[in-house]
Structure 1
Amino acid sequence: MKCIPLIGRFLFSMIFMYSSIAKFSDSYVYEAAVKGIPLSYILIPLVGIFELLGGLSILFGFMAKWGAWLIILVLLPVTFIMHNFWAVEDSIQHQLVLMTFMKNMSIVGGALMISYFGAGPYSIDAVKKQQIKA
């Protein structure tokens, strides 16, 4: 049972490590520019770096609470700016954007839990905690 948080951290962090790579593509920069994001050619790759750092932090359980806050700070504005379902008129597109919005809010909920409870066993944070007790 002690390995469940490790599996959860792996599954949770996969989306950030995968999507961080895509943030360096021209299509993401273009989409952000169309949405009115200033300096999108700088901000979007920066978001990718933050996603990668937060994802790795959570995966390895190294300063996982800080990594979770980094994910939250990136994901909240991205969700409200890029997935504004309330402004989409096409019903099919509205549903797709709404689902992405809800998925991101669910991920924020998971990140909030990590920011509160930490990484759990089998993490660098847990090893450090054991060394302090000894």
Structure 2
Amino acid sequence: MSTIAKPDIAAANPASTSMQDVLALLARLLLALLFVLAGINKIGAMEGTVGYIGSVGLPFPELMYFGTIALEIGGGLLLAIGFRARHVALAMGTFTVLTAVIFHNDFSQQIEITMFLKNLAIAGGMFAIAAFGAGRYSLDRG
């Protein structure tokens, strides 16, 4: 049985793949920046953040607080450098959807609708990285 050879897109249009790699890097850095800064900001706001987590009925709000900081800062840094980017992006995208559903579900408030949709858009970016990889300018190299 013969196989059909797939065209080498990189050889056919190296400028296109180079631009894609630059855009993948930019996407990772912008998404990572959001999470790293959010995690750093939570470090100085333990009481308020733990209270907010507890106010929605989640168990172990202190544990959730530390886990969130670890995910936001650690995951953000891993995403920025492109290490295990597909797995990290999948985890962070899932976290972001859950955050939208749990914390931004009061659709009688316009700001909550905006925050909900913002989280879904961020998750969409994460899922795109999970689907297509981190690009050439990453530790994953693809």
Give the equivalent residue in structure 1 for 2:23: 4
Q: Do structure 1's residue 102 and structure 2's residue 117 form an aligned pair?
A: yes
1:94-122 CA-partner distances (Å, limit 9, x unpaired): 01111010000001111110001010021
With structure 2 as the length reference, what TM-score do the two structures score? 0.78
Where does 1:15-54 land on structure 2 (aligned, <5 Å)?
Answer: 15-24=34-43, 25=45, 26-54=47-75
| Distance (Å, rounded) in 1 between the aligned partners of 2:99 and 2:35 | 13
Distance 1:79 1:67 in 2: 18
Deviation digits for residues 1-32 of structure 1 (CA, Å, limit 9, x no counterpart): 34222222111111110111233322111111
**Which ranges of 4 or more aligned residues in structure 1 deviate by more than 3 Å?**
none
RMSD: 1.5
SS where residue 120 of structure 1 aligns?
coil
CA distance in structure 1 between the aligned counterparts of 2:72 and 2:91, rounded to whole angstroms: 8
Q: 1:64 offset after TM fit, Å?
A: 0.3
* CA distance in structure 1 between the aligned counterparts of 2:126 and 2:74, rounded to whole angstroms: 14
Decide which structure has the larger Cα Rg and report it: 2
Q: Percent identity?
A: 30
**TM-score, length-scaled by structure 1:** 0.82
Gaps of 5+ in 2: 1-18
Alignment gaps of 5+ in structure 1: 89-93, 130-134
Higher helix share: 1
Distance, in Å, in 1 between the alignment partners of 2:91 and 2:65 is 15
Query: Match of 2:140, SS?
Result: helix
For this pair of structures, how many residues does the alignment match? 121
Distance, in Å, in 1 between the alignment partners of 2:117 and 2:103 is 13
Whole-angstrom CA distance in 2 between matches of 1:121 and 1:75: 25
